[in-house]
């Protein structure tokens, strides 16, 4: 009976874990377009096209399991995004880069992916 239960759990793990391992880490174009329609570009006020000086960012990163949804997105200045990438590259192991939140003192206190 115990062996049967172990086999069942092992089989269940093979069914459940692959979708978790393949979690989506790329934002969809449809979601970013919908975000900009609801939240116009801070620098131009346009609901479409380029937004000079800003990028679209996920508040809860996709690599941390955050949803690819308009409610999880924000405008972020390019300078803050550059600082975020730099801090993540320096402080984190390669498998965790960009998957945290921290305050970045070098970038005027911008919220950073890096610490809890």
User: Is residue 92 over pLDDT 80?
Assistant: no
Entry field: residues in the chain? 116
Model confidence over 28-75: pLDDT tens digits?
899 999 999 999 999 999 999 999 999 999 998 888 889 999 999 999
For residue 15, the model assigns a pLDDT of 57
Q: Which one, of 51, 90, 61, lies nearest residue 104 by Cα?
A: 90
> Quick one: pLDDT at residue 39?
97
Q: Are 61 and 92 in contact (CB under 8 A)?
A: no
Give the span between the Cα atoms of 12 and 81, in whole angstroms.
40
The whole-number pLDDT of residue 61 equals 86
| Domain residue spans of the chain | 2-112
Across 84-93, average pLDDT: 54
As a whole-number percent, the residues of the chain with pLDDT over 90 amount to: 36
Average pLDDT over residues 79-104: 58
């Amino acid at each position: 009976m115990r062996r049967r239960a172990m086999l069942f759990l092992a089989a269940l793990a093979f069914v459940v874990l692959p979708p978790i391992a393949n979690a989506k880490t790329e934002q969809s174009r449809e979601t970013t377009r919908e975000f900009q329609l609801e939240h116009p570009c801070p620098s131009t006020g346009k609901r479409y096209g380029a937004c000079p000086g800003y990028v679209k960012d996920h508040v809860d990163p996709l690599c941390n399991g955050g949803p690819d949804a308009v409610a999880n997105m924000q405008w972020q200045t390019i300078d803050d995004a550059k600082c975020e990438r730099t801090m993540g590259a320096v402080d984190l192991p390669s498998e965790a880069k960009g998957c945290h939140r921290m305050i970045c003192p070098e970038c005027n206190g911008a919220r950073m992916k890096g610490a809890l």
